[in-house]
Amino acid sequence: MPIRLDKLVAERFGLSRRAAQEAVRNGRVDVAGDRGDEPGREVEPETPIAYFPNRPKARAVAGKLRVLHEDRHLLIVDKPAGLLTLPTLDHERDTLVERARRYLAIRHGGRRPFVGVVHRLDKGTSGALALARSPGAVRAFQALFKAHDIERQYLAVVEGAPGRAEGTIDLPLVTDRGDLRRGVARGPGEGRHAVTHYRVVERFGPVATLVACWLETGRTHQLRIHLAEIGHPVVGDPVYRPRARPRSKATFHRQALHARTLGFRHPLIDQDVRVEAPLPGDLDELIVDLRNRFGIPGAGG
């Protein structure tokens, strides 16, 4: 009896149904030697299928905006990996800000609604990101971020196995470590104060570890730099992973970093706001793959 392709993929490779659907849509599943892209396709149970979790996406980032919170001052959205927050000098048309403008125009009217950037996520990072709906809201929320009076939790898959189940990385950062890239200050009194707290969530043998991180400060690339500095770079990070580091068995088509939680006391309506961005399918696939290949039952922090 025929079976849906996504169900067969989930059963064969130990994925959740959602992760299996995204794997198929993103072109990471071959059916009888040909790439499949329809999760609902009916196939025979004995059909040969192959799963390539680290194969780059076959399609562009989906254009729909996922809204996690909305009020008259603020929009919190779930940014997909691969999407810029703002355009660069290349003047990209499809950015998170442009998607937010389209969403607000359709929902509330107006030709070009105001959308202000409060903070940013790297192009390769997914997760919760706040956008202001007025200049006054930009100032209010930037002050909130500057005062660090906000909860920002990330999930990251890092290379190797941290020796401690939890810890704090307190290392100042500089904008140029000597090769035009950001990094950790080496001289006394140099750099800007930067603190990251982390906790091990799940270990995948000696190969990789899932960690939760909390930002006490929010410097550019802080998490990626701090984790690389303690010997556990984010899997898939093309910038801060030391070039001399031996090749890892854990690979990913982007940096395995997700902004999961954003929480604060709303400065303009005096209410508590806390949102969680669900783990994206590609990162879920990576974790399942590492768990199946290297995980040890019961091996958490």
Which are the catalytic amino acids?
A: 122
Q: Which residues of 144-159 are buried (b: 16+ CB within 10 A; e: fewer)?
A: bbeeeebebbbbbbbb
What are the structure tokens assigned to 172, written together?
A: 């100042």
286 closest CA partner among 208, 229, 224: 208
For residue 154, the number of C-alpha atoms closer than 13 Å in the C-beta half-sphere is: 27
What are the structure tokens assigned to 75, written together?
A: 């929009």
Kindly tell me the sign of the dihedral angle through the C-alpha atoms of 62, 64, 70, 74: positive
DSSP letter, residue 39: T
**Alpha-carbon distances, residue 190 vs 43, 172, 218, 220 (angstroms):** 61, 7, 17, 16
Pairwise CA distance, residues 118 & 300, whole Å: 35
CB within 8 Å of 141: residues ≥ 6 apart: 74, 118, 130, 132, 267
Pairwise CA distance, residues 274 & 264, whole Å: 6
125 closest CA partner among 227, 199, 39, 204: 227
CA 266 to chain centroid, in Å, comes to: 24
